[in-house]
Amino acid sequence: MILTLLRHGMTEGNARNLYYGSANIPLLPEGRAALEKARKTNEYPRGVRYYTSGLVRTEETFAILYGDTPHQQIPGLREMDFGVFEMRSYEELKSDPQFQAWITGNVEENVCPGGESAVNVTKRSLSAIQPVIEADMDAVCVIHGGVISGLMSTWFPDGGGRFALTPEPGHGYSVEFREGKPQSFRPAPYEKLSQKPV
């Protein structure tokens, strides 16, 4: 099976480099325009089953890329909850003692006050995606950058780590599974093949 993980389009949080995950914010107009352009110039993978996290930015992205294709929501694939840091920038937070405590030591395991840790998000995501993998049918999930990078760095520990595997908005990976095990991956979407005259 091929499991495609796509990150939603650009939001205010992306544009302003904010810590955000649980905030249910929409795409920016320029994020919508970038997705429309990408859809016209690239081949977005298709599947037998389709999913989103249910947050508005994934629903809007899905509608632009796949129209009214039926899909299911998997809340377990939502982005990390940054708690009291939600919708705030590094500049706003850098003098906050709680923030300094969070970024000290192992950031993957440190829990945001009122939120989650990256490790817990990855555990939650692995559990949520398992039924999709077990169904053994090509699937597309429109979800979130942190969730994708957590899954990919778990499945492919030699892939460069979380930050190397975080896709840009509107992009992601198609992962080949055999007997429930990840084998290889390629970036998604794919560039459309030019049509040569016969």
Where in the sequence is the domain holding 145, given as residue range(s)? 2-191
> Could you tell me if residue 63 is inside a domain?
yes
Average pLDDT score, the chain? 95
| Residue found under tokens 């320029």 | 30
Q: How far apart are CA 84 and CA 100, in angstroms?
A: 13
Query: Has residue 104 got a pLDDT over 70?
Result: yes
Number of other CB atoms surrounding residue 97 within 10 Å: 7
pTM of the model: 0.94
> Could you tell me if residue 158 is inside a domain?
yes
Q: How many domains does the chain have?
A: 1
Q: pLDDT band at residue 192, thresholds of 50, 70 and 90?
A: confident
Q: How far apart are CA 83 and CA 118, in angstroms?
A: 12
Amino acid at 161: G
Report the CATH number at residue 137.
Answer: 3.40.50.1240
Nearest to 148 by CA among 114, 95, 185, 111: 185
Query: Has residue 161 got a pLDDT over 50?
Result: yes
Give the model's pLDDT for residue 105. 86
> Could you tell me if residue 196 is inside a domain?
no
Q: How far apart are CA 182 and CA 156, in angstroms?
A: 8
> Could you tell me if residue 197 is inside a domain?
no
> Could you tell me if residue 198 is inside a domain?
no
